[in-house]
Chains A and B, each alone.
Chain A
Amino acid sequence: MSDNLRTSASKFIDQTTRVSFKFDGKTYFGFKGDTLASALLANNVHLVGRSFKYHRPRGIMTSGSEEPNAIVQINKNSSVTEPNVRATEVEIYDGLEASSQNCWPSVNFDIGGINNFLSPLLPAGFYYKTFMWPASFWEKYEYFIRKSAGLGQSPAEPDPDIYDHNYVHCDVLVIGGGISGIMAAKISAENNFKTLLLEERPNLGGTTIYQKNDYFKINDQYSSNWLEKEIEQIKNLKNLEIKTRTSVAAYHGYNYLLARENLTDHLPLEKKKNLIRQRLLKIRAKKVITATGSIERPLIFDNNDRPGIMLSSAIKKYADFYGVACGKENVLFTNNDTAYETAISLNNKGIKINAIVDIREQNKSDLTNEINKAGIKIYNSYTVIDTKGYKKINKITIMKLSKDGKTVTDSKIDINCDCLGVSGGWTPAVHLFTQSGGKLKFDDNDNIFIPSKYPSDQLSIGSCNGNLELDDIISNINVSLKNFLKINKTNFENLKINSSKSNSKRNIWLLPSDKTVSKTKAFVDFQNDATAKDIKLALREGFRSIEHVKRYTTTGMGTDQGKLGNMNALGIISDTSNVKMSDLGTTTFRPPYTPLTFGTIVGRNVGEFFDAFRKTPMHNWHVQHKAKFENVGQWKRAWYYPKGNENMHDAVQRESKAAREGAGILDASTLGKIDIQGSDASEFLNRVYTNAWSKLAVGKCRYGLMLNEDGMVYDDGVTTRLSENHYIMTTTTGGAANVLGKLEDYLQTEWPELDVYLTSVTDHYATASVCGPNSKKIISKIIPNLDLSDENFPHMSFKNAKIGNIKCRVMRISFTGEQSYEINIQANYGKSLWEKCMDAGNEFNITPYGTETMHLLRAEKGFIIVGQDTDATLTPIDLQMDWIVSKKKYDFIGKRSLYRSDTIRDDRKQLVGILTDDPNEVLEEGAQIVADTSKKPVEMLGHITSSYFSPNLNKSIALGVVKGGKNMMGQKLFIPMKDKIINVKIADPVFLDKENKRLNA
């Protein structure tokens, strides 16, 4: 088992530094510079996972981010575990533990493998067809689907790693550090563009950096040698920043891109500590050059998924870059010259090649000549029709292709092999280009989609632009960069280039075999186990849109997003349905190009930095007095102040009684405050509130209700006339910003002629609200020279005052129904104002109360809370607040909507009081209200919006909305709960002191 397949030295691998790692519990050794995939292959481990649906054994197939099979879990059962990581991208380090996914109990013996034999029962659309009925069984199905689907394990503990976000601006962003990207970066930087070059791999140079082939030369050197020198040079360019291990995840409009810079994933565990793991770069580039290369396509034939079947370019990279032979008996299967490059590399290293199977009838190029000279058998016009070997390929069967390529003829030939390299040509990696909004066109010559129309200032170069030959790539860069950067010449105009040329092409999307397609398993999407048969079935069942076929067969829906399979799927659809590829189009490529960790996405916005929060000037006092807090918008508001062992209910009952019997104090600083000035201020208020404002005297306060233009209640609050042309408006805590925005909108766009100025002053003032029978005595102690008599300072009025020499505004207004004073003071005096109130109130047992008690007290009085008792479907009439809607005013926001045919219906949901037959039964907010439980389905009349046990009335009270409730006073209704039905009666929503006697008590 522990064959060493490291056959040659490689300068990219540090063979002096041995690295120990574990895969599925077994310890292996690799070298520094290895990926998990190359290290496993060096140990002759191909089988690394099971496929998603049939649980077929799968091996490493590629050498990059397109890998569909070698998907592993890293450091399982730890807080830093990560699922769905591609073994081809993981750089090994001492202590790395990886394990295979999609298999149970183990990759070598997998129970789900039984699905492979049941596969006739698992056709395309299987999940849709099978698990839909009966609906009640879904919970059971889901359990099994999830267990057998197994896309790895998410970590069970908080992520201990640190992540970062960084804004980046540059003139030119170059994506991809292969030969094209390096040339572009050099040209750009040397022409004084501030340039950023990003490469997803740890090293620059792409596939060229290990190309030592006599038929690909630049200035008579190996292309790798030439490129190496270029890389050394660009490292010193002062206009150029290079980031490796950085992959672009998303390319949005206006050249805004997101990239993930991987900083520590390749380091041993102990060296990662306290370092930033990954950094999300938010890049705004004036110009973008995409040089993302291309991805080799597999060929589609029966049993094309066995471990040991790999992309031919991957086999070449493992040999040339990592010094690893993927097999001892290799066969290559191709429709183009790429496999011959691989063959030359293997042959030069003494790695045995049993044969090359080429579907082309003939081909003459420098590469094929070299292979012929080497005496390697080439089967032209042959195709692989089957493969054998369960956990590893051991044999292929080939047959001769007919002239039209639709059938096979002659006799079968078996060829032994332990590794089969396949090449179906190259697919330009146009994912980022299309993400940015770019339009593709189909190139019939190479059977590829290439960029055609750029949506922003950007350019695609190299093989992602469809330039697949070395000389093509370089000449295109020279021409297009001059134009793109508006420069006269590039650095690379006089290069001497040798590039082997192939003279024949043959493309067959689905290779024929001696069996009918329905009897084959020719995989198109390896990760999702979608086969050619599935795609044909979907077409037979009437699916036509490429997006529908994708979802029905799940082709391209794995973590690899169809990087390998999509083009083949399109080709098969095109052939089967006789629609040209160009008319078919592609599915939409969506970000991210490769998966991102949640940590990278959220960066530092975790824990207390998740959202900004706002504290009142009295906040620390509340903290010191053990308040519990609730979030209201971004505000932290004191919720209740438990004493001793009190729970919330006890605390609220105590606070509520104290506020009505002695004195209570509330921190009301969070209410929105808008300063309104200007000669048209009164007119403005007339237009935005439902009631009339022109006649409000200076020094008086008034409650106002604000509607949306559709007539629904939007916000409420008390506004005070400070002087002739000066008002201060209060809004709900949560609505403050939106109300200001709405008022500004009307002022700027509908009524620019009004002389009105709005300023948000919410943060400028702290507000202490003192209420209860003793409130007047307490205020008189704090502000002794203020005349608090009911004649001179009645309810709903305002006075300027001073505490010491600090100015304050005192409003006599009430949200509790008690006599109540609100003192507004410059925010930085807020805490001392609060403490003064507490001192002065001490002898009256002044009790601080929080938002929960405030809600209870106002509910006793039947005052609404916008957003709790209303939900943007209620008019003031629905709320039984007709009294606040002016009949005389010609217009205000929302007026016309109050008599639309829909808003004048009698059977609208209307706000009413709800009393339970059992006074101790407290209803649940949100509970449904019904009249008749016998008829199914039960008709819902409405729901409970507010519910409390009132200590002052010694019974349960509730508010709710009920269809036609206004005319149902006294009617009996029911609240059906899980275990009982509660009997209730409709009541007046004002439960306490309807005559408002307490306001002046």
Chain B
Amino acid sequence: MFIINCPYCGEREQSEFKAGGEAHIVRPKQPTELSDDEWAEYLFMRKNIKGIQLERWVHIHGCRKWFNMVRDTSNDQIHAVYKMGEKPPIK
């Protein structure tokens, strides 16, 4: 079980959090303008990386804030957490 450093509350147990999938997938501003394929790309396509992944988490049993995380899926090391709207703090 991870220890996650919530950007608003500090370090807490993983059981207080919920994962929300890949980060930085922006909902299209004009969905009606999109073809089926383009909409499907937004709706269904997610990366499944072995290695460094940017992902969304929410402190669901805490401050209920969403934030982003840089996690290495091969060893579960969390390299950084950052607030929604911020750029990933890695190169």
Which residues of A approach B to under 8 Å, CB–CB? Answer: 252-254, 256, 284, 437, 455, 709-710, 741, 744-745, 748-750, 752, 890-891, 895-897, 900-901
User: Is B52 located at the chain interface by the 8 A CB criterion?
Assistant: no
Q: Are A895 and B1 in contact (CB under 8 A)?
A: no
Q: Are A749 and B31 in contact (CB under 8 A)?
A: no
The answer for the CA separation of A891 and B58 in the assembled complex, in Å, is 26
List, sorted by A's number, 9 A–B pairs whose CB atoms are closer than 8 Å.
A437-B76, A709-B27, A709-B43, A744-B58, A745-B58, A748-B84, A749-B84, A896-B39, A900-B40
Q: A741-B58, A901-B36 are in contact. List 6 more A-B contacts (CB 8 A).
A: A437-B76, A745-B58, A750-B27, A752-B85, A897-B43, A900-B36
Q: Are B3 and A891 in contact (CB under 8 A)?
A: no
Which residues of B sit under 8 angstroms from A750, Cβ to Cβ? 26-27
Once A253-B2, A745-B58, A748-B84 are accepted as A-B contacts, the answer to whether A891 and B32 lie under 8 Å apart by CB is yes
The answer for the CA separation of A891 and B34 in the assembled complex, in Å, is 12
Q: Are B32 and A745 in contact (CB under 8 A)?
A: no
A737 and chain B: residue at smallest CB distance = B60
A890 interface neighbour in B32, B58, B60, B64, Cβ under 8 Å: B32
Q: Are A896 and B32 in contact (CB under 8 A)?
A: yes
Which residues of A sit under 8 angstroms from B58, Cβ to Cβ? 741, 744-745
The answer for the CA separation of A745 and B2 in the assembled complex, in Å, is 22
B60 interface neighbour in A252, A741, A891, Cβ under 8 Å: A741
Q: Are A895 and B32 in contact (CB under 8 A)?
A: yes
Once A896-B31, A900-B40 are accepted as A-B contacts, the answer to whether A745 and B20 lie under 8 Å apart by CB is yes
The answer for the CA separation of A253 and B75 in the assembled complex, in Å, is 9
User: Is B66 located at the chain interface by the 8 A CB criterion?
Assistant: yes
Once A256-B1, A896-B31, A897-B39 are accepted as A-B contacts, the answer to whether A745 and B66 lie under 8 Å apart by CB is yes
B60 and chain A: residue at smallest CB distance = A741
A893 and chain B: residue at smallest CB distance = B27
The answer for the CA separation of A709 and B56 in the assembled complex, in Å, is 17
The answer for the CA separation of A254 and B77 in the assembled complex, in Å, is 9
CB distance from A393 to the nearest CB of B (A): 48
Q: Are B75 and A437 in contact (CB under 8 A)?
A: yes
The answer for the CA separation of A858 and B72 in the assembled complex, in Å, is 50
Which residues of B sit under 8 angstroms from A744, Cβ to Cβ? 58, 64, 66
A891 and chain B: residue at smallest CB distance = B31
Which residues of B sit under 8 angstroms from A284, Cβ to Cβ? 3
The answer for the CA separation of A795 and B60 in the assembled complex, in Å, is 37
The answer for the CA separation of A437 and B75 in the assembled complex, in Å, is 7
Q: In the A-B complex, list the 10 residue pairs whose CB atoms are closest, starting with the nearest.
A: A896-B31, A256-B1, A748-B66, A750-B27, A253-B76, A896-B39, A254-B3, A749-B66, A254-B2, A900-B36
Which one of A253, A455, A710, A900 has the greatest number of beta carbons of chain B within 10 Å?
A253
The answer for the CA separation of A933 and B18 in the assembled complex, in Å, is 47
Which residues of A sit under 8 angstroms from B32, Cβ to Cβ? 890-891, 895-896
The answer for the CA separation of A651 and B28 in the assembled complex, in Å, is 52
The answer for the CA separation of A897 and B43 in the assembled complex, in Å, is 9
Which residues of A sit under 8 angstroms from B40, Cβ to Cβ? 900
Q: Are A455 and B3 in contact (CB under 8 A)?
A: no
CB distance from A935 to the nearest CB of B (A): 34
What is the number of residues of chain B that contact chain A, defined by CB distance less than 8 Å? 25
Which residues of A sit under 8 angstroms from B1, Cβ to Cβ? 252-254, 256
Which residues of A sit under 8 angstroms from B56, Cβ to Cβ? 749
The answer for the CA separation of A256 and B60 in the assembled complex, in Å, is 21
Interface residues of B in 48-70 (CB under 8 A from A): 56, 58, 60, 64-66
A709 and chain B: residue at smallest CB distance = B43
Q: Are A900 and B66 in contact (CB under 8 A)?
A: no
The answer for the CA separation of A890 and B28 in the assembled complex, in Å, is 13
CB distance from B78 to the nearest CB of A (A): 9
Once A253-B1, A748-B84, A749-B84 are accepted as A-B contacts, the answer to whether A455 and B75 lie under 8 Å apart by CB is yes
CB distance from B20 to the nearest CB of A (A): 7
Which residues of A sit under 8 angstroms from B34, Cβ to Cβ? 896
The answer for the CA separation of A752 and B85 in the assembled complex, in Å, is 9
CB distance from A894 to the nearest CB of B (A): 9
CB distance from B88 to the nearest CB of A (A): 15
B43 interface neighbour in A455, A710, A741, Cβ under 8 Å: A710
Which residues of B sit under 8 angstroms from A254, Cβ to Cβ? 1-3, 76
The answer for the CA separation of A660 and B6 in the assembled complex, in Å, is 53
Which residues of B sit under 8 angstroms from A437, Cβ to Cβ? 75-76
The answer for the CA separation of A463 and B6 in the assembled complex, in Å, is 39
The answer for the CA separation of A602 and B12 in the assembled complex, in Å, is 23
The answer for the CA separation of A51 and B31 in the assembled complex, in Å, is 65
The answer for the CA separation of A895 and B34 in the assembled complex, in Å, is 12
The answer for the CA separation of A744 and B34 in the assembled complex, in Å, is 26
The answer for the CA separation of A602 and B64 in the assembled complex, in Å, is 28
The answer for the CA separation of A212 and B39 in the assembled complex, in Å, is 76
Interface residues of B in 1-57 (CB under 8 A from A): 1-3, 18, 20, 26-27, 30-32, 34, 36, 39-40, 43, 56
CB distance from A738 to the nearest CB of B (A): 11
Q: Are A752 and B84 in contact (CB under 8 A)?
A: yes
Which residues of B sit under 8 angstroms from A897, Cβ to Cβ? 39, 43
Q: Are B39 and A748 in contact (CB under 8 A)?
A: no
Which residues of B sit under 8 angstroms from A896, Cβ to Cβ? 31-32, 34, 39
Which one of A890, A896, A897 has the greatest number of beta carbons of chain B within 10 Å?
A896
Which residues of A sit under 8 angstroms from B39, Cβ to Cβ? 896-897, 900
The answer for the CA separation of A900 and B85 in the assembled complex, in Å, is 30
Which residues of A sit under 8 angstroms from B27, Cβ to Cβ? 709, 750
The answer for the CA separation of A253 and B27 in the assembled complex, in Å, is 34
Q: Are B31 and A748 in contact (CB under 8 A)?
A: no
A252 and chain B: residue at smallest CB distance = B1
Which residues of A sit under 8 angstroms from B20, Cβ to Cβ? 745
B32 and chain A: residue at smallest CB distance = A896
Which residues of A sit under 8 angstroms from B60, Cβ to Cβ? 741
CB distance from B62 to the nearest CB of A (A): 13
CB distance from A740 to the nearest CB of B (A): 9
CB distance from B51 to the nearest CB of A (A): 15
Which residues of A sit under 8 angstroms from B66, Cβ to Cβ? 744-745, 748-749
The answer for the CA separation of A864 and B42 in the assembled complex, in Å, is 30
CB distance from B50 to the nearest CB of A (A): 14
The answer for the CA separation of A256 and B1 in the assembled complex, in Å, is 6
Which residues of B sit under 8 angstroms from A901, Cβ to Cβ? 36
CB distance from A624 to the nearest CB of B (A): 35
Q: Are B36 and A748 in contact (CB under 8 A)?
A: no
Q: Are A748 and B43 in contact (CB under 8 A)?
A: no
A896 and chain B: residue at smallest CB distance = B31
The answer for the CA separation of A352 and B36 in the assembled complex, in Å, is 85
The answer for the CA separation of A253 and B4 in the assembled complex, in Å, is 12
The answer for the CA separation of A354 and B26 in the assembled complex, in Å, is 79
The answer for the CA separation of A745 and B27 in the assembled complex, in Å, is 12
CB distance from A612 to the nearest CB of B (A): 13
CB distance from A49 to the nearest CB of B (A): 37
The answer for the CA separation of A742 and B27 in the assembled complex, in Å, is 14
The answer for the CA separation of A709 and B39 in the assembled complex, in Å, is 10
The answer for the CA separation of A252 and B30 in the assembled complex, in Å, is 44
Q: Are A895 and B36 in contact (CB under 8 A)?
A: no
Which residues of B sit under 8 angstroms from A252, Cβ to Cβ? 1
Which residues of B sit under 8 angstroms from A253, Cβ to Cβ? 1-2, 75-76
CB distance from A548 to the nearest CB of B (A): 22
The answer for the CA separation of A365 and B28 in the assembled complex, in Å, is 77
Q: Are A895 and B85 in contact (CB under 8 A)?
A: no
The answer for the CA separation of A897 and B3 in the assembled complex, in Å, is 37
The answer for the CA separation of A895 and B30 in the assembled complex, in Å, is 11
CB distance from A166 to the nearest CB of B (A): 15
Which residues of A sit under 8 angstroms from B84, Cβ to Cβ? 748-749, 752
The answer for the CA separation of A741 and B85 in the assembled complex, in Å, is 19
B23 and chain A: residue at smallest CB distance = A749
Which residues of A sit under 8 angstroms from B3, Cβ to Cβ? 254, 284
Which residues of A sit under 8 angstroms from B43, Cβ to Cβ? 709-710, 897
The answer for the CA separation of A616 and B6 in the assembled complex, in Å, is 34
The answer for the CA separation of A898 and B26 in the assembled complex, in Å, is 20
The answer for the CA separation of A895 and B26 in the assembled complex, in Å, is 16
